[in-house]
Amino acid sequence: MSESPKNDPPAAAPPPVKPPSLLDTVFSVLASFFGVQSRENRVRDFSSGKPMVFIAVAIVLTVVFVLTLVLIVKLMLRNAGV
């Protein structure tokens, strides 16, 4: 029988993941709008991101998107003479 050594080095801990900045959060939410996200960013977001920050940014970006569409439609209708 062979015995394993008693002084095995401890397993290396994974490096700490830095929390996403506000700009990183905005880019992650924009990527989610299009359905594209790198695995690295997704792991960062789910492991160290705060859900309320992502929800708030998503709501703000959705409102900005809808208001932009409304503005474009109004400008087009005005230019069309309607």
Q: Domain ranges in the chain? A: 22-80
Question: What global pTM score does this model have?
Answer: 0.71
36 Rama sector, left if φ>0, alpha if ψ -120 to 50, beta otherwise: beta
pLDDT, averaged per 10 consecutive residues of the chain (82 residues), comes to 64 71 93 90 89 95 97 95 80
- Cβ–Cβ < 8 Å for 49, 19: yes
Side chain identity at residue 78, one-letter code: R
Cα distances (angstroms) measured from residue 65 to each of 36, 58, 59, 69, 76: 18, 10, 10, 6, 17
pLDDT for the residue 59: 97
